[in-house]
Amino acid sequence: MFTGIIEAVGRVAGVENKQGDLKLRIKSGSLDLSDVKLGDSIATNGVCLTVVALPGDGFVADVSRESLAHTRIASWSSGTAVNLEKAMLPTTRMGGHLVTGHVDGVGVVKKRSADARSVRFTIEAPAHLRKYIAAKGSVTVDGVSLTANALSDEGFELNIVPHTAQETTLNSLKVGSEVHLEVDIIARYLEQLLRPESAGQKNSEQKAEGLNAAFLMQNGFWK
């Protein structure tokens, strides 16, 4: 698990094709790896990667075909900047929110504008993810824990303060840039728990409908 608070910006040092999947070498920059051992997890632009080697100036990780299918990693090349965060500890301050490092989809920057010293973005999110994003709720963008200021027809809006822009890769985003998105895990679990089949209703038609207004009214959630 992670918090979405970026610890350092690293860079891709090498990408090796390994029989259909990839082996990545990441230079970790200022990230302290003194307490990292083989098998540990490091979120890399929001993707949970397992450390398989520690060459001294960073780490090496394997990327499965499953991860390649749901992320932008296949487009990375030597020099690509990436946000880095080590897995959280029980003593870690929860400065962001609970982040799994399992990317839900890829979004696209549709607008960028200056707002005093901050930067405002409008992000287009895949249609199937929009229902999990709430105004003033948490969302992870390229591994960064952020608050969705407002919802738009296409997705959501963000306000990036100067510190976040300076300490992450977000300041380099422009219209058309693609970003990794992870929605709030609590929203996903809540949906699953409220499915009719979770309430002991076995009717196939009710199962197909899932969470809707009729179900909420029937179970006292909506009047």
Residues 113 and 156 in one domain: yes
Examine residue 3 and state whether it is found in any structural domain, yes or no.
no
3-state secondary structure of 91: coil
- pLDDT tens, residue by residue, 36-74: 999 999 999 999 999 999 999 999 999 999 999 999 999
| Predicted local confidence at residue 196, as pLDDT | 67
- pLDDT tens, residue by residue, 180-211: 999 999 988 888 887 766 445 455 444 445 55
Residues 114 and 174 in one domain: yes
Cα–Cα distance, 87 to 106 (Å, whole number) = 22
- Torsion angle of the four alpha carbons 31, 32, 38, 43, in this order, in degrees rounded to the nearest 10: -30
Which residues is 124 bridged to in the sheet? 108, 155
Instruction: Tell whether pTM > 0.75.
Output: yes
Total domains in the fold of the chain? 3
